[in-house]
Amino acid sequence: MANSKYEYVKREFEFHRHLPASNWIVVRIDGCHFHRFSELHAFEKPNDDRALRLMNACATSMLEKFPDIVIAYGVSDEYSFVFREKTEFYKRRESKNISLCVSYFTIVYGMKWKDFFPNNDLKEPPYFDGRVVCYPNINTIRDYLAWRQVDCHINNQYNTCFWALVKSGKTEKEAHQALKVI
Amino acid sequence: MANSKYEYVKREFEFHRHLPASNWIVVRIDGCHFHRFSELHAFEKPNDDRALRLMNACATSMLEKFPDIVIAYGVSDEYSFVFREKTEFYKRRESKNISLCVSYFTIVYGMKWKDFFPNNDLKEPPYFDGRVVCYPNINTIRDYLAWRQVDCHINNQYNTCFWALVKSGKTEKEAHQALKVI
Amino acid sequence: MANSKYEYVKREFEFHRHLPASNWIVVRIDGCHFHRFSELHAFEKPNDDRALRLMNACATSMLEKFPDIVIAYGVSDEYSFVFREKTEFYKRRESKNISLCVSYFTIVYGMKWKDFFPNNDLKEPPYFDGRVVCYPNINTIRDYLAWRQVDCHINNQYNTCFWALVKSGKTEKEAHQALKVI
Amino acid sequence: MANSKYEYVKREFEFHRHLPASNWIVVRIDGCHFHRFSELHAFEKPNDDRALRLMNACATSMLEKFPDIVIAYGVSDEYSFVFREKTEFYKRRESKNISLCVSYFTIVYGMKWKDFFPNNDLKEPPYFDGRVVCYPNINTIRDYLAWRQVDCHINNQYNTCFWALVKSGKTEKEAHQALKVI
């Protein structure tokens, strides 16, 4: 607005990238240092029902807030949001897509925390990273979701075994050793 | 991890951009729909002291959390964070820089809200967008900060006059009219 | 190879962009300052048969050299080359795609020149710019080709009328005036 | 121009990247399959004086044609062109910078070939790839040139020894073996 001699810093250095049209847009959000965060807040292992329901509640808020999201899929402390192929969400500007999604998800996580952990105050701020990826057709977006689903299954299988061993008396190191792929 | 046939969706479509070395990195955060948010939460006009101090408190947390930030400057509902020229913050990956900063700022805003607005519950989630810009030397980064400062001054001057007129009995439309550049 | 202390200049500043998979890749080549070049070499107006056949001969060489090109379409001093959706041409690296296509086209243009203009030495070097665009599906690539075709038709129609007027005795300025859209 | 319903293919898919201001721009050109090309045209080993002088002549033409190039440095079949920090060459559009440089270099190489190889017709088209890299200050651009110079020295030293061994009667395989770093 201020039309000063300094405005060149925007014009000459600040570039916007637009995501190409006719591509499904995935914004994937992932908890940052959630290993530590989950210990600090005494999450149950291998799966904390309250934590998973909180993630799902945040995802539900996302779908209500951003109607161009057509499907969402979550695993552990990550969630993928798929925007429909033709979305014009913030003119498909990449940094807007990443930042608004991760910001909204994060604040809802904070605001809903006490609904799921009523006796458990936040000891440090939970926060997330985000990235955006474009998929050009229905097959590749289907395979994206299959990829996350396989990853969920493998990790969950491993974690279930790992924590069963730990609960049965093994140390974490021994449990890792026992489950190592030979 | 799962090494499935679906992993190509990552390899062939998910690209990381790295910010070039020897550049100062600015992450600028900006409130989304804060005009509405400030009305909903009855911010005082032209400047709400509590809201500005909350922004500053969030910025302080950012500097404690991310020591590679060397200076931060805020105006209204925006804040710029300057990472030092040589930072290796998340290997200078662009989407990590944007998303982690905006996510952390947002959650701290939510968690500190009640410290500054003790009698004023959050009626809707505050959230922010973010972007990242690189500046190659000390002159351009200085001019970047001067640009934001000029913008702050101009907007503040306008808002001070605008709200003075409104408080003196003019409608918002009349106040805008009176301040129009001829 | 030399593993010197200077190699950081590559690692920290030289980034490769890969074109996303499952997209048709278009490399479009366009003559640089060909208005001047065509005058200097006395191209016939509105269409110089020798010049068009030379462009086509270069395009034919391109298809022989780069078998991943599935279709090519040319207009005046430009040519579009469509690489098949699944091509792994130079691992889909953007700068390789642009530069190798434009370089090969240019050298063939130079080497074949005397076949089409036997009595007409090159007075200055002909050269071309290039760009690359990705299209995610068959509809958008079809529309891309339709776009170039419409452009060809419109320009050709205009040029045919323009040069007919000039040959009938009008100045170039008068001809432009006569054909102006009101 | 044609304002047809197909123009969306440009607007929605064709994006221009601008190189950031206040950076030195390097365009580096490199011969494609020049190992084969140099054998086919019987280049002398380790260094063919005619071929090197042809590369230098092309570089000289580049500097005359594009006055924003401030220094150029060549090694074997590659050449680096450094545009001055403030250049507005084609508005710093990346694809224009790469393609016009590589195209002009290539055509001059073809046109000047017979000046340096008068008895040696081109048996196949010589062509080059190109890339662009930005360096934010005088130290990094200096180190870029030092990097290429070290690379030149190391390769030249190796090639000089290698071809001395070959000329003394060893096979190429034996020569490689003899020079292997232990």
Question: By CA distance, what is D133's nearest residue in B?
Answer: B20
* Substitution target from B107, B112, B179 for chain A, most A beta carbons within 10 A: B107
Q: Do B17 and C15 touch (CB under 8 A)?
A: yes
Please report the pLDDT score of residue C2 as a whole number: 54
Which residues in chain D have Cβ-Cβ distances shorter than 8 Å to C143?
Answer: 6, 8-9
Which of D8, D18, D22 faces A15 most closely, judged by CB atoms? D18
Q: Do A22 and C137 touch (CB under 8 A)?
A: yes
Q: What's the whole-number average pLDDT of chain A?
A: 96
Calpha distance C146→C93 (Å, rounded): 26
Which of C13, C17, C22 faces B20 most closely, judged by CB atoms? C13
Q: Estimate to the nearest angstrom the gap between the alpha carbon of A166 and the chain centroid.
A: 28
Please report the pLDDT score of residue A4 as a whole number: 85
* Substitution target from D6, D8, D15 for chain A, most A beta carbons within 10 A: D15
Q: Which helix (H) or strand (E) holds C98?
A: helix C94-116
Question: By CA distance, what is D65's nearest residue in C?
Answer: C125
Judged by a CB distance cut-off of 8 A, whether residue A13 touches chain D is yes
Q: Which helix (H) or strand (E) holds D10?
A: helix D8-11
- pLDDT of residue B1 exceeding 70, the answer is no
What does the block give as tokens for D160? 């000089």
Please report the pLDDT score of residue B3 as a whole number: 72
| Residue C73: C-alpha distances to residues C27, C81, C85 (Å) | 11, 7, 17
Q: Which residue, among B129, B127, B120, has the nearest Cα to B106 in the 3D structure?
A: B127
Task: List chains adjacent to chain B, taking adjacency as at least 3 C-beta pairs closer than 8 Å.
Answer: A, C, D
Based on its alpha-carbon atoms, the radius of gyration of chain A, rounded to whole angstroms, reads 20
Q: Where are the alpha helices (DSSP H) in D32-180?
A: 34-40, 49-65, 94-116, 138-167, 172-179
**A122 three-class SS:** coil
Mean pLDDT of A35-41: 97
Mean pLDDT of B81-94: 97
Q: Which residue, among B6, C144, C88, C84, has the nearest Cα to A139 in the 3D structure?
A: B6
Question: By CA distance, what is A88's nearest residue in D?
Answer: D12
Which of D13, D15, D21 faces A13 most closely, judged by CB atoms? D21
Cα–Cα–Cα angle for C127, C136, D6, rounded to 5 degrees: 70
Is A33 among the domain residues? Answer: yes
- Total residues belonging to chain D: 182
DSSP A133-161: EEE-SHHHHHHHHHHHHHHHHHHHHHHHH
Judged by a CB distance cut-off of 8 A, whether residue A14 touches chain D is no
**φ/ψ bin of B48: left (φ > 0), alpha (ψ from -120 to 50), beta (otherwise):** beta
Calpha distance B97→C56 (Å, rounded): 48
* Substitution target from D7, D12, D23, D91 for chain A, most A beta carbons within 10 A: D12
Sign of the Cα pseudo-torsion (C8, C12, C13, C16, in order)? positive
- pLDDT of residue C1 exceeding 90, the answer is no
Q: Is the peptide bond before C46 cis (omega within 30 degrees of 0)?
A: yes
User: Rounded to 5, what percent of chain B is helix, strand, coil?
Assistant: 50, 15, 30
The answer for residues whose C-beta is within 8 angstroms of residue A43's C-beta and 6 or more apart is: A51
Q: Estimate to the nearest angstrom the gap between the alpha carbon of C3 and the chain centroid.
A: 39
Please report the pLDDT score of residue C148 as a whole number: 97
Which residues in chain D have Cβ-Cβ distances shorter than 8 Å to A15?
Answer: 17-18, 20
A64-93 pLDDT, tens digit per residue, is: 999 999 999 999 999 999 999 999 999 999
A59/chain B closest Cα distance in angstroms? 14
Calpha distance D47→C144 (Å, rounded): 47
For chain C, give the percent of residues with pLDDT over 90. Answer: 96
**A172 three-class SS:** helix
CA torsion A170→A176→A179→B1, rounded to 10°?
Answer: 150
C124-170 pLDDT, tens digit per residue, is: 999 999 999 999 999 999 999 999 999 999 999 999 999 999 999 99
- Total residues belonging to chain B: 182
Calpha distance A143→D78 (Å, rounded): 42
Is C137 among the domain residues? Answer: yes
B73/chain A closest Cα distance in angstroms? 16
What does the block give as tokens for D155? 């390769």
Q: Kindly report the number of other CB atoms within 10 A of residue D22's CB atom.
A: 18
Which residues in chain B have Cβ-Cβ distances shorter than 8 Å to C21?
Answer: 8, 12-13
Please report the pLDDT score of residue B181 as a whole number: 76
Q: Which residue, among C20, C40, C22, has the nearest Cα to C31 in the 3D structure?
A: C40
The complex's ipTM works out to 0.93
Judged by a CB distance cut-off of 8 A, whether residue C179 touches chain D is no
CB contact at 8 A, A36 and A125: no
Q: Do B125 and A134 touch (CB under 8 A)?
A: no
Judged by a CB distance cut-off of 8 A, whether residue C23 touches chain A is yes
CB contact at 8 A, C56 and C74: yes
A115-145 pLDDT, tens digit per residue, is: 999 999 999 999 999 999 999 999 999 999 9
Is B113 among the domain residues? Answer: yes
**DSSP 8-state symbol, A20:** P
Q: Which helix (H) or strand (E) holds C102?
A: helix C94-116
Residue D131, beta-bridge partner list:
D28
| Phi, psi of C31, rounded to the nearest 5 degrees | -60, 140
Is B177 among the domain residues? Answer: no
D47/chain A closest Cα distance in angstroms? 43
C170/chain B closest Cα distance in angstroms? 48
* Substitution target from A58, A62, A95, A156 for chain B, most B beta carbons within 10 A: A95
User: Chain D, 43-72: which have a CB under 8 Å from a chain C CB?
Assistant: 61
- pLDDT of residue C177 exceeding 60, the answer is yes
Q: Give the strand order in the sheet containing B78-83.
A: B69-75, B78-83, B24-31, B128-135
The answer for residues whose C-beta is within 8 angstroms of residue A93's C-beta and 6 or more apart is: A16, A17, A18, A19
B34/chain D closest Cα distance in angstroms? 30
Mean pLDDT of B146-163: 95
Mean pLDDT of C36-44: 97
CB contact at 8 A, B53 and B112: no
What does the block give as tokens for B142? 């200085």
Please report the pLDDT score of residue A3 as a whole number: 72
Is A130 among the domain residues? Answer: yes
Name the packing angle between helices A138-167 and A172-179 (round to 10°). Answer: 130
What is the band of A2 on the pLDDT scale with cuts at 50, 70, 90? low
Q: Give the strand order in the sheet containing D69-75.
A: D69-75, D78-83, D24-31, D128-135
Q: Estimate to the nearest angstrom the gap between the alpha carbon of B95 and the chain centroid.
A: 16
Instruction: Show pLDDT as tens, one digit a residue, over chain D (182 residues).
Output: 557 899 999 999 999 999 999 999 999 999 999 999 999 999 999 999 999 999 999 999 999 999 999 999 999 999 999 999 999 999 999 999 999 999 999 999 999 999 999 999 999 999 999 999 999 999 999 999 999 999 999 999 999 999 999 999 999 999 999 998 76
Judged by a CB distance cut-off of 8 A, whether residue A120 touches chain C is no
Is D82 among the domain residues? Answer: yes
**φ/ψ bin of A97: left (φ > 0), alpha (ψ from -120 to 50), beta (otherwise):** alpha
The answer for residues whose C-beta is within 8 angstroms of residue C124's C-beta and 6 or more apart is: C37, C40
Cα–Cα–Cα angle for A127, A130, A132, rounded to 5 degrees: 170
| Residue C90: C-alpha distances to residues C127, D98, D129 (Å) | 23, 16, 11
For chain B, give the percent of residues with pLDDT over 90. Answer: 96
Range of the domain at A105: 15-138
CATH number of the structural domain spanning residue D42 = 3.30.70.3000
Q: Do B22 and D134 touch (CB under 8 A)?
A: no
| Residue B125: C-alpha distances to residues A132, A140, D108 (Å) | 22, 33, 62
Q: How many domains does chain D have?
A: 1
| Residue C22: C-alpha distances to residues A140, B165, C68, C72, C135 (Å) | 9, 59, 14, 19, 9
